[in-house]
Amino acid sequence: MFPLRNDILMGFSLCLKTGYGSVSPRTSWGKLVTIIYALVGIPLMLVYLTTTGDVLARSFRRLYGKLCGSPQKPQCPCNTRVRVPVTLCLVMVLAYICSGALLFHRLENWSLLEGSYFCFTSLGTIGFGDLLPGQQTEEISLCACSAYILTGMALVAMCFSLVQDEVLGLLRLVGASCSRSDSFRDEENVPAVS
């Protein structure tokens, strides 16, 4: 039977789809419960990430607009959208990974590289399982890891939402410019009617 730490880690990694390879069910009942748990937990986690990412993206966009001096009260909020630079999103994710590296450096006595590696693979839902939190101070480290990863996944979802808006805006702009150039070419090729 698994100790409680492994059960918590397995359930957490199942819902986050990180799949730390060192923890897995061994019995038939454990495998059945894992399937049922994942069937419920993964969709709930995806709903959490989507909803939280959208709410955080709207809030961050509003805050960024206020800080950068965009108009305070647009007439129609659906027409005026504050653009958040993609580089700012990348900087936020990198800063979050660095702060996690410092956190796990303190809690687990990992090197900064190991902490960065663990944070990146966990937030990227890779989770190889070669580094596991909770080896030094079990309860504190697992709580900190859970809070860090849940918050980080929400931050990554927010950044994905912001970057997705920028990419879609760019694609719309390119599509509009291509259709305008096609219509100009068509007008030039139409013979004049006398």
pLDDT given for residue 78 in this prediction: 53
pLDDT given for residue 17 in this prediction: 52
pLDDT given for residue 2 in this prediction: 41
What's the gap between Cα 191 and its chain centre?
A: 54
Q: What phi-psi label fits residue 134: left (phi over 0), alpha (psi between -120 and 50 degrees) or beta?
A: left
State the Cα–Cα distance between residues 93 and 89, nearest whole angstrom. 6
- Domains of the chain are 4-170 (1.10.287.70)
State the Cα–Cα distance between residues 36 and 50, nearest whole angstrom. 22
- Contact residues for 42 (Cβ-Cβ < 8 A; gap 6+): 14, 15, 17
Tokens 């997705």 belong to which residue?
164
- pTM listed for this prediction: 0.70
pLDDT given for residue 185 in this prediction: 59
pLDDT given for residue 22 in this prediction: 57
pLDDT given for residue 100 in this prediction: 94
Nearest to 39 by CA among 31, 50, 29: 31
Residues in the chain: 194
The residues of the chain scoring below 50 in pLDDT are: 1-5, 8
Nearest to 153 by CA among 67, 64, 62, 44: 44
